[in-house]
């Protein structure tokens, strides 16, 4: 019995020392990994979509790893009628590398489809094929916004 109490005490102290809880997301937003996500059906250009997200205190979605990607595929599949959604990834015509609008370091995906021509390119997710699409940023698609939920 003493051992159980010791383990409970240690577990509690570790949770207090290292743990945190995420704040809840605003109505209409979905929580995942201390971030809030919201899908928008109205097709916009990539820049219009980023501006719309900014009006909600957010950015177009950044995808850090496979778990983010899987979550977003499920979210898009369940809430968006279109087949392609904008992400926050972009590459200017004179650059070689993609960037995320929120400044997240680019580590995922490692390979992205290239797009011929000297134009600005933005990345979208084709959720029905579970693949990335390099598109001209002026095309119109639904989009997903993301913002931090904060911590308690």
pLDDT digits over 18-76, tens only? 455 778 999 999 999 999 999 999 999 999 999 999 999 999 999 988 899 889 888 88
Nearest in space to 38 (alpha carbons), one of 53, 54, 24: 53
Query: Domain extents for the chain?
Result: 28-148
Q: What is the pLDDT of residue 19?
A: 54
Q: What is the pTM of this model?
A: 0.79
> Residue 14: pLDDT above 70?
no
The dotted CATH code for 28-148 is 3.10.100.10
Tens of pLDDT, residues 97-152: 888 999 988 887 667 766 666 788 999 988 777 788 889 999 999 999 999 986 44
> DSSP letters along 27-94, please?
TT-EEETTEEEEEEEEEE-HHHHHHHHHHTT-EE----SHHHHHHHHHHHHHH-SSSEEEEEEEE-TT
């Amino acid at each position: 019995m003493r051992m159980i109490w010791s383990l409970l005490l240690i577990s509690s102290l570790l949770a207090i020392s290292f743990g945190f809880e995420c704040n809840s997301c605003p109505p209409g937003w979905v929580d995942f990994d201390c971030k809030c996500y919201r899908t928008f059906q109205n097709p916009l250009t990539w820049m219009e979509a980023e501006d719309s997200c900014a009006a909600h205190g957010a950015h177009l979605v950044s995808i850090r790893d496979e778990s983010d990607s899987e979550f977003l595929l499920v979210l898009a599949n369940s809430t968006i009628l279109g087949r392609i959604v904008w992400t926050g990834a972009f590459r200017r015509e004179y650059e070689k590398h993609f960037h995320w609008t929120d400044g997240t370091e680019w580590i995922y995906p490692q390979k992205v489809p290239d797009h011929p021509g000297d134009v600005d390119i933005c990345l979208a997710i084709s959720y029905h094929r579970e693949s990335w699409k390099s598109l001209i940023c002026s095309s119109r698609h639904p989009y997903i916004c993301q913002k931090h939920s904060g911590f308690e």
